[in-house]
Amino acid sequence: MPGQVQSIARAAAILRLLAGGSGRLGLLEIARALDLPKGTAHGLVRTLQDVGFVEQDKTSGKYQLGAALLHLGTSYLDVNELRSRSINWADPLAARSGEAVRIGTLLDSEVLVVHHVFRPDDTLQTLDVGALLPPHATALGKVLLAYEARGGGFGELVPYTRRTLASPRALARALSAIREAGWGSDIEEMTVGEAGIAAPIRGYGGLVVGAIGISGPVERVCDAHGQPRVTLVTHVREAARAVSRDLGGRGQ
């Protein structure tokens, strides 16, 4: 029986190392943690980077898991599981926020809504489960893009309103801010008078496998300065952390 392929075993060890802890390490830290020569570690990391499994932060020079792993990491995660794990936290989020709650995941170049909780009032609402949303114009979609499309390939950016981020440069800046803050929003970018807040749901290894968010009238979702209300951001992020824990992921 053939033995273990050393280079593959070492590459797997690097991925496991990046999946744990802070998830962002320098080359020397990787080499020391795995007791590898620096040159060997560099060659392995560069190969993993070439296939999209590892990405390098341009500012710090440190390495983290790449977006390409999302497709592998979610192979175990059926959409129904994402939905079933989220239900217990979506209903309380709707109750606390007073707004509609949606859970989504990327499907090709769109956001698939896998669960939808109506806002707790008597207004007429339409069930959105199964609906496809444009990622660049919604809070859910921008959060998902922030951890998926780091290369800037966004496809066609249709302007739905005058506030839609329809230029690659503007959208890239927004996605960078989302990665820094750990949550995202849209204010009248898809529908005039509507705003949304969303946060990433993480699965095993910390990979983002979905997003949970609220949406409602701007005057309720945003404060007097036109910014998302801090209390609502807190509620959304707490719900995202809870779902992530249920899926075996780490919090944001």
Domain that holds residue 97: 73-246
> Are 37 and 80 within one domain?
no
- Least confident range of 51-60, 101-110, 149-158, 177-186: 149-158
Helix (H) or strand (E) holding 140: helix 139-146
The answer to whether residue 1 is domain-embedded is no
Q: What contacts 223, CB < 8 A, 6 or more positions away?
A: 229, 230
Instruction: Tell me what percent of the residues of the chain surpass a pLDDT of 70.
Output: 88
**Res. 151: pLDDT tops 50:** no
Q: What contacts 235, CB < 8 A, 6 or more positions away?
A: 93, 96, 97, 214
The answer to whether residue 252 is domain-embedded is no
* Residues 32-48 pLDDT 10s: 999 999 999 999 999 99
C-alpha dist (Å) from residue 103 to 54, 77, 172 = 27, 14, 23
The per-residue pLDDT for 69 is 63
> Are 163 and 237 within one domain?
yes
237: exposed, middle or buried (Cβ count in 10 Å: 0-12, 13-18, 19+): buried
Label residues 175-201 b or e (16+ Cβ within 10 Å = b).
beebeeebbbbbbbbbeeebbbbbbbb
In this structure, which amino acid lies at residue 133?
A: L
Label residues 110-125 b or e (16+ Cβ within 10 Å = b).
bbbbbbbbebeeeeee
> Are 60 and 78 within one domain?
no
Q: What contacts 14, CB < 8 A, 6 or more positions away?
A: 30, 34, 41, 44, 45, 48, 54
> Are 48 and 15 within one domain?
yes
> Are 54 and 27 within one domain?
yes
* Residues 123-145 pLDDT 10s: 777 878 888 899 999 999 999 99
The answer to whether residue 228 is domain-embedded is yes
81: exposed, middle or buried (Cβ count in 10 Å: 0-12, 13-18, 19+): middle
**Res. 230: pLDDT tops 90:** yes
* Number of folded domains that form the chain: 2
Record the pTM.
0.68
Main-chain phi, psi angles of 105, to 5 degrees: -145, 155
Of 208, 109, 203, 186, nearest to 142 (Cα)?
186
* Residues 10-24 pLDDT 10s: 998 998 888 765 557
> Are 96 and 26 within one domain?
no
- Check which CATH number belongs to the domain holding 55 and give it: 1.10.10.10
In this structure, which amino acid lies at residue 102?
A: R
Q: What contacts 85, CB < 8 A, 6 or more positions away?
A: 243, 246, 247
The per-residue pLDDT for 1 is 45
Of 107, 99, 97, nearest to 130 (Cα)?
107
> Are 77 and 192 within one domain?
yes
* Residues 153-209 pLDDT 10s: 677 899 999 999 999 999 999 999 999 999 999 999 999 999 999 999 998 778 888
> Are 25 and 101 within one domain?
no
